[in-house]
Amino acid sequence: MPLFTRVSPSIIAVDYNNEEVVKSALENIEDAGANFVHIDVMDGKFVSNKTFDHKFVDFVKNHTTLMLDVHLMIENPEKHVDDYISAGADIITFHYEATDNPESLLKHIKSKNVLAGLAINPETPAYKIKDLLKKNLIDVVLVMGVNPGACGQSFIPGSAEKVAEVRELDKSVYIEIDGGVNVKNSKILRKLGANILVSGSCIFSSKNIKKTIRALKGRAWIVSMNSL
């Protein structure tokens, strides 16, 4: 399993309609040691909220050197995925529940040299993706810690067990946990096998973003020695 924990702050937790706010949030998380920026695309159909589309991804790409971790909470992701590839996404994650043919979409994303992520909702059991894992088609499994659609929700405890189940099925895939992640529950999530932690409200509402990101990584002392 990949050794280091990566942190992917979710930009949905800031006032994303304000370009200046977004630019300064991107600078702050980059300085604070984030590995990715998590971009929650919602279409108002797969989930009731609507956020932004590929033009926003394009804007983010132009204002950060962080890798772009794009989470599509949209219907018919196969129809839109190329727009996100063109916008410069480094990981594209779509929902297992949103398409009839996850296998071909995973293959398509991988063929474009973009990491392919598959997200599973709280009610979707881990075994459903067993065959896709066996075929080595998934680079990142995104386990939802909340029902998709909004930031600032409380973590659903069964999601931690699901992280362990996915890790049992595959020792090397990246496991991203998204929704309700905070410093307190990050320890057990890392232990059970999650190695990309998404956090919106916990990071952006904290007084010291750098310390929070270090704590989420669980490697505070190494990071601080490296920065001496």
Minimum CB distance to ligand DX5, residue 134 (Å) = 26
Please select the residue that binds Zn ion; options are 163, 178, 204, 216, rule is CB under 5 A. 178
| CA 198, chain centre distance (Å) | 5
Q: Which two tokens stand for residue 188?
A: 């057990």
**Which listed residue (34, 178, 190, 196) binds ligand DX5 by CB under 6 A?**
178
Helix or strand or coil: residue 31?
helix
Name which of 45, 32, 41 is nearest 11 in CA terms: 41
Q: Which of 143, 163, 173, 198 binds ligand DX5 (CB under 6 A)?
A: 198
Residue among 103, 114, 119 at smallest CA distance from 40? 119
From 31, 40, 58, 139, active-site residue? 40
Task: Please state the φ and ψ torsions of residue 89, each to the nearest 5 degrees.
Answer: -65, 140
Q: Note if 40 is an active site residue.
A: yes
| Positions 31 through 60 that interact with Zn ion (CB under 5 A) | 40
Q: Write down the least CB distance from residue 191 to Zn ion, Å.
A: 22
Min CB(23)–ligand DX5 separation in Å = 20
Taking phi over 0 as left and psi of -120 to 50 as alpha, with beta for the rest, 157 belongs to alpha
Residue nearest to Zn ion (CB): 71
Task: Name the strand (E) or helix (H) holding 111.
Answer: helix 102-111
Stretch that binds Zn ion, among 25-33, 99-107, 155-163, 176-184 (CB under 5 A): 176-184
Instruction: Tell me the two tokens of residue 223.
Output: 């990071």
193 binds, among ligand DX5, Zn ion, none (CB under 5 to 8 A by kind): none
Q: Is 201 in the site for ligand DX5 (CB under 6 A)?
A: yes
CA–CA separation, 169 and 173 (whole Å): 9
Nearest to 95 by CA among 116, 69, 114, 121: 121
Among ligand DX5, Zn ion, none, what does residue 7 contact (CB within 5–8 Å per kind)? none
Active-site residue (options: 43, 139, 170, 178) = 178
Q: Which residue among 28, 153, 165, 211 contacts ligand DX5 (CB under 6 A)?
A: 153
Bridge pairing between strands 140-144 and 115-120: parallel
Tokens of 72: 């599509």
Residues in 57-116 at the binding interface with Zn ion, rule: CB under 5 A: 71
Q: Which residues are catalytic?
A: 40, 178
Question: Applying CB under 6 A, which residues contact ligand DX5?
Answer: 10, 12-13, 38, 40, 71, 146, 148-153, 178-181, 198-202
